[in-house]
Amino acid sequence: MSVIQHERYFTSLPREYYTSADLFAREVEQIFTRQWMYVGQVGMIREPGDFFEANVAGESLLIVRDHEGTVRAYFNVCRHRGSEICGTGSAGKFKHIVCPYHSWSWDLAGNLRGVPGTRDGNAFGFADWPLHQARAAVFHGAIFVWTGETEPPPLREFIGDSADQSALAKVDPARQKLVRTERYRVQANWKLLLENNCECYHCAGTHPSLGVSCNFQGMFLNEDGSSRSGGQHFPLREGMKTFSMDGAWVCRKPLGAYGPSYLDTPEAARFSTGYILVPMFSALLYFADHGVNLQINPLSVDETELVCHWFVHEDAVEGTDYDNDAVTAVFDITNREDIALAEGNQRGVRSRRYVPGPNSASREPFVEHALTSYLQLMGE
């Protein structure tokens, strides 16, 4: 199987790729465990013991900073009888990692330290029962995990040239703080959300709020996910400073090491950078005044979680430097519009009469790249 190629166009995948539970089961083994997946930023776990829970393609993970400052990812599964240790969306600080069911406890390095009713070596050795770990790595402040058991490629090699590292250094994602997380449940196959987020062919007719500041023509991505607008990763209309409901700054404290006067410079206005990873879609986007990160988490053949994080400078003060609603409004609205589109798309592809039609080589080339990457991992 391959993306269907014709002389002048390509198509998306046949119906069963969006509706088959058997195909989804194959994806669990061949796709979800074979890509570095974004889960959050280091600013979310600044101190030893800080943690947050993240869902990664159906697996719940605890992202923890240990006493040595290392970022670790533990499967959210007690080694006793399998209880989850923390609930969905949990965040806070661990002194020890303790299962709420029978109070088994682990240190921040994942070593079993306490079992009520027994001592180390009596019935079993504690060293044999550490928390299961996923690999974790950091790239310009962004935390990625690899849930498979195979040895992954180095994260920087995996991201490759898709990220402009000099531009990322300007906004210093490691010094950003989270202001909102939204977890959207979407009744659609994850690849429909992937395709939707890899093109802006649909934007002019469906995203009026986005269209205030966004230059839709510049959002026709190249095959590698880069913008056709030159230096701008997320191109803005003339006169717009940032991605917002009116194009005005949403935070008066710029990202990076710049002072507030930086926002008055031509360089700051309309600046954007970031990168997109596929086929398991991760999009990290930064303007001069705020950041927005997206992650798609497949849950079942026809249900997906879309997670969105919004960030500002770590020293920005709510009510003085930024208003939370202003930071999050336009992307929240756009996400909800995209969810409605994906759910309508899912209802349509369930029809026995669905046959994929021609996609645009000029406006949807990144869709072809994403689906081709998917099929390569599927061995087709």
Contact 18, 351 (CB under 8 A): no
In a domain, 156, yes or no: no
By the 8 A CB rule, do 103 and 84 touch? no
**What is the distance between the alpha carbons of residues 296 and 280, in angstroms, rounded to a whole number?**
7
Indicate if 364 and 279 belong to the same structural domain. yes
Are 295 and 186 in a shared domain?
yes
The pLDDT, as a whole number, for residue 216 is 84
Domain boundary among the residues 151, 176, 204 is at 151
Q: Is residue 157 part of a domain?
A: no
pLDDT of residue 83: 98
Residue 145 in tokens: 């995990």
Statement to judge: residues 186 and 324 lie in one domain: yes
- Residue keyed to tokens 């966004």: 214
Quick one: 105 and 191 in the same domain?
no
Judge if 177 and 141 occupy the same domain: no
DSSP letter string, 79-93: TTT---SS-TT-EEE
What is residue 57's predicted lDDT score, i.e. its pLDDT? Answer: 84
Q: How far is CA 166 from CA 41, 171, 242, 271, in A?
A: 18, 9, 19, 13
> Is 363 found in the same domain as 269?
yes
CATH number of the domain bearing residue 129:
2.102.10.10
Q: What is the pLDDT of residue 361?
A: 84
Mean pLDDT by 10 residues, the chain (380 residues): 64 95 95 94 97 93 97 98 95 97 98 96 96 97 95 94 92 96 97 95 93 81 56 83 96 95 92 93 96 96 96 97 97 97 98 93 88 92
326-353 burial, b for 16+ CB within 10 Å, e for fewer? bbbbbbbebbebbbebbbebbeebeeee
Verify that 100 and 183 share a domain, yes or no.
no
Q: Is residue 53 part of a domain?
A: yes
Q: Which CATH number do you get for residue 362?
A: 3.90.380.10
DSSP classification of residue 322: B
Taking the C-alpha atoms of residue 189 and residue 88, their distance in angstroms, rounded to an integer, is: 21
Residue 72 sits in the same domain as residue 188? no
Max CA separation in the chain (angstroms): 71
Among 94, 120, 151, where does a domain finish?
Answer: 151
H-helix or E-strand containing 365?
helix 365-377
pLDDT of residue 270: 82
The pLDDT of residue 1 is 47
Domain encompassing residue 145: 37-151
Rg (CA), the chain: 22
Tokens of 95: 């002194």
Between CA 297 and CA 302, with CA 298 as vertex, the angle to 5 degrees is: 140
Residue 29 and residue 43 share a domain: no
CA distances from 331 to 20, 126, 203, 219 (A): 31, 47, 13, 15
> Residue 279, preceding bond cis, omega within 30 degrees?
yes
Among 331, 335, 320, 43, smallest CA distance to 178 is for 43
Identify whether residues 281 and 367 lie together within a single domain: yes
Are 227 and 362 found together in one domain? yes
